Structure 1
């Protein structure tokens, strides 16, 4: 396995609404890109605030698109977004890799520009294929969920019977689409190739994407497996 470096952006992690420090990293990335405001898109948006990578941007005056398919969560999203309704487009839909509910089609009914600033993909399933299916829009920064419990040298692309994709496969997709991995902050952070230089990141981080895999996600997975095994054995002992 490749020696782990961990992204230099890790030190900027902090949460306002995000789960793994994404809020702080987004703030630093946008600062380096000299972007003070713009457009974002996030899905599944939940209620807008819960583990959101973008709600803090909405509070700061950004425009955005929130997409959420669950009707109850969408109602909560409407409530939480009421204060910013003049700047936010809310869409109740489950995003699919292709067809009428593809991200390209859903975004086309909004005024979001082609080169918008931030896309956050977190639907706990077919994230990889949804990004793969995005053709018209070209966001500057993409944050996408993977399964961190899969080692960084393993290829895995989500299917109907086996959702979620691996680090290696998602990084390869990013390269195909013209994006550079800049860190694994819970989710993977990508920046479009033409913007990478402005981030002034160490060459060591840019030369070998696999070195940015965060092994703590593997360790957490192993710990959960061991704990589950111990609980199972203890339960069987009590039944004897």
Structure 2
């Protein structure tokens, strides 16, 4: 009797979850249509959330309306269980295909048990990403050459892994930056193939690269920086030859947004409210690599 009731309850929960997802996507489609008259340069004005953590869904819908994409294919890593991501709305609403990669076997098992795994052309790979394995991970999943979108969120070696990627040429790239480094410094954490943010330093704020470092690297790879989200953690880049004339390339000082959300931790793992200067004092004691 108990197991029968539990099964019935679980079924009802799944039904509610499915209905909520349909509502989320319907609202996302409505918001997408409302972006039609928005100037292409106003990427922050396009922000909305369907599955993204912040406003990335809206920004990507807006950019991809104006940018030619030869293949509706994405690669995203650092997705956890993929319930919150930058590419899920493209998968479910626009029928894109793609590859997601995460270092947790539990997260990847969850993705493979989700209905989206058979409803759409999605591949999920369980692997800890390094600059030495990223190209082979992408290639062995059948993805090479031009693609629509690359989203990088590693909380660590983002600069080094993006520098290494040459197996795909995305039209649009989303890169996470660490705003604590400010808009002027061109720095990244040193490359460590086993880097894990939560163990690299107990403060939880020592990770990634500055916006300027990522802008410099992306420009060398043929991309134009077009802005950041209002949360101050993701930067958007467009392949330079695909950039519409009215979408202006920005310098880091123009597009920089400082994050306001709290990530600092004390040695016990409790969230603490540190000032910008207090966070910077912590980071300045730790190894950084100057890149140009």
Q: TM-score range by the shorter chain?
A: 0.7 to 0.9
Within 5 Å, give how 1:55-74 maps onto structure 2. Answer: 55-60=88-93, 61-74=95-108
Give, in angstroms, the shift of residue 221 of structure 1: 8.1
* Structure 1 Cα separation of the partners of residues 223 and 130 of structure 2: 21
Unpaired segments of 5 or more residues in structure 1? 1-6, 230-240
154 and 103 in structure 1: CA distance in 2 versus 1, 3 angstrom threshold: same
- Runs of 4+ aligned residues of structure 1 deviating over 4 Å after TM superposition are 34-37, 218-223
Which residue of structure 2 aligns with residue 48 of structure 1? 82
Higher relative contact order (CA 8 A, sep 6+): 1
Cα distance in 1 for partners of 2:170, 2:131 equals 17
Q: What secondary structure does 1:225 align onto?
A: coil
Offset at residue 95 of structure 1 (A): 1.1
Q: Work out which of the residue numbers 61, 69, 76 in structure 1 matches 2:110.
A: 76
> Does 2:205 match 1:171?
no
Tell me by how many angstroms 1:84 deviates: 3.8
Worse-superposed segment, 217-226 or 170-179? 217-226
- Name which of 136, 139, 162 aligns with 1:105: 136
Q: Distance in 1 between matches of 2:131 and 2:112?
A: 25
Mapping for residues 87-102 of structure 1, pairs under 5 Å: 87-98=121-132, 102=133
More displaced, 149-158 or 58-67? 149-158
- Name the CA distance, whole Å, in 1 between partners of 2:223 and 2:118: 31
- 2:227 corresponds, among 183, 199, 214, to 183
SS in structure 2 of the partner of residue 189 of structure 1: strand
2-side partners of 1:107 and 1:42: how far apart?
10
Match of 2:62, SS state, is helix
Q: Which residue of 2 aligns with 1:224?
A: 273
Superposed displacement of residue 83, structure 1: 4.4
Q: How far did residue 209 of structure 1 move? A: 3.6
Q: Name the structure 1 match of 2:180.
A: 149
Between Structure 1 and Structure 2, whose CA radius of gyration is higher? Answer: 2
Equivalent runs, 1:30-49 vs 2, <5 Å: 30-35=64-69, 38-49=72-83
Whether the aligned pair in 2 keeps the contact of 1:48 and 1:81 (CA below 8 Å) is no
Residues 144 and 150 of structure 1: is their aligned pair in 2 closer, same or farther, counting only changes over 3 Å? Answer: same
TM-score (norm 2): 0.66
Alignment coverage as a number of residue pairs: 213
| Distance in 1 between residues matched to 2:55 and 2:239, nearest whole Å | 21
